[in-house]
Structures are given as C-alpha cells and as structure tokens.
C-alpha cells in the first residue's frame, strides 16, 4: 500500500500437513503487484510470516517470473504448460501425443456431457473439494468461488463433466485476454 492505495496483493494459505509439516503457500500466479518493488516487499512479508508462524517453508506459485530474493530457493519441478491454439483442428490433433489422443477418443466414445458456466459451481464443488482433500491440498471455500464469479463476471467460469448424470470431473477456469487458465480443478 502506498499513498494512492493498494499496489499489490499476495494471497497466502497456511497449511498444516502431517507429512511435510506446516508451510505457507500462495495461490497460483499470486504475486500481483504494480511494480517490482511492491512485489519484492510482498515476498519479504511472506518470508517474515513463515518465520513468525513457525512454518517450515514458503511455496510461491508464480509461473510468470522466477524471483531472485535472498533466502528464497527456486524449485522448478512444477511447471505450467501453455498450448498455442491453431485455426486448423487437424494440425492441433496431430500435435497431441499419441497417448493423449487415445484418452480423448475414449472420452468421446464414453457419451460424456460437458457443461460450461458459473451456474454449475455448486454442483462441481463437492467433487473439487474431495479431489483436493485426496491430494492433501487446501480447499478454497464455496464463498471464494461465488465471489470470484460475482466480482469478475466474464473472467471466471466452471466446466463440468457428467457421465450418466453423475459429475465425474470439473474445473474452475480463469479467462484473461486470449488465454484460459485451468487454475482449480
């Protein structure tokens, strides 16, 4: 914050894990600041929070930038994949790995129903919550998604997949510019 108002945010979650001990993690692409100085100040405060809360470490999930900050170790074992979409669907199909094409064919033959829209959030949420629990990942509450859809209409939506009337998959997707981000799902 400066005299003109908020110039950056870094949403963080404190996770209590029996496996790895307590840690602090950001949301994906969470360093959101007007300038480098503000971003570094946020990261510095996050490091202080880790120390003060006696967490073991900080996970900074930022696929846009590698932060060179003293005391911060970069681990690039996780990644974000970006695919440029072409006008030619046949070319896109050929670019997919053979195993991916097999999975797509199987899904197409499975008579799945795909529904898109924020109105499906309530129906997807239990499957999302269960999947996150099974992965040991903190679950964001329903209210978080309700507020996202309410405050940023047109930028967030829900994708739901049903098989024989039962929800079998889904995701909460962010849309910015010409890019879709499968952020939660």
- For residues 25 and 46, give the distance between their C-alpha atoms in angstroms, rounded to a whole number: 9
pLDDT at residue 82 tops 80: no
Query: What's the burial of 185, exposed, middle or buried (CB within 10 Å: 0-12/13-18/19+)?
Result: middle
Within 13 Å of residue 65, how many CA atoms lie on the same side as its CB?
12
Q: What is the pLDDT of residue 80?
A: 67
Write down the pTM of the prediction: 0.59
pLDDT band at 32 (very low <50, low <70, confident <90, very high): confident
Average pLDDT over residues 58-71: 79
Query: What's the burial of 75, exposed, middle or buried (CB within 10 Å: 0-12/13-18/19+)?
Result: exposed
Are 13 and 49 in contact by the 8 Å Cβ rule? The answer is no
Q: What is the pLDDT of residue 63?
A: 66
pLDDT band at 182 (very low <50, low <70, confident <90, very high): confident
Q: What is the pLDDT of residue 87?
A: 81
Give strand pairing partners of 10.
none
Note the pLDDT tens digit of each residue in 84-143: 787 888 998 998 899 999 999 998 899 899 999 999 999 999 998 988 888 877 788 899
pLDDT band at 15 (very low <50, low <70, confident <90, very high): confident
For residue 75 the two structure tokens come to: 């681990």
């Amino acid at each position: 914050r400066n005299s003109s108002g908020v110039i950056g945010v870094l949403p963080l979650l404190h996770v209590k894990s029996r496996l790895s001990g307590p840690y602090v993690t950001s949301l994906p692409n969470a360093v959101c600041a007007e300038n480098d100085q503000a971003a570094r100040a946020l990261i510095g405060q996050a490091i202080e929070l880790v120390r003060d809360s006696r967490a073991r470490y900080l996970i900074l999930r930022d696929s846009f930038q590698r932060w060179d900050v003293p005391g911060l170790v970069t681990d690039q074992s996780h990644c974000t994949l970006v695919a440029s979409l072409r006008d030619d669907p046949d070319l896109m199909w050929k670019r997919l790995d053979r195993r991916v094409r097999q999975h797509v064919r199987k899904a197409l033959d499975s008579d799945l129903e795909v529904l898109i829209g924020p109105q499906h959030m309530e129906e997807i949420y239990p499957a999302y919550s269960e999947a996150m629990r099974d992965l040991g990942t903190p679950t964001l509450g329903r209210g978080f998604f309700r507020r996202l859809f309410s405050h940023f209409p047109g930028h967030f939506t829900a994708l739901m997949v049903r098989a024989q009337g039962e929800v079998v998959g889904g995701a909460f997707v962010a849309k910015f510019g010409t890019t879709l981000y499968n952020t939660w799902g």
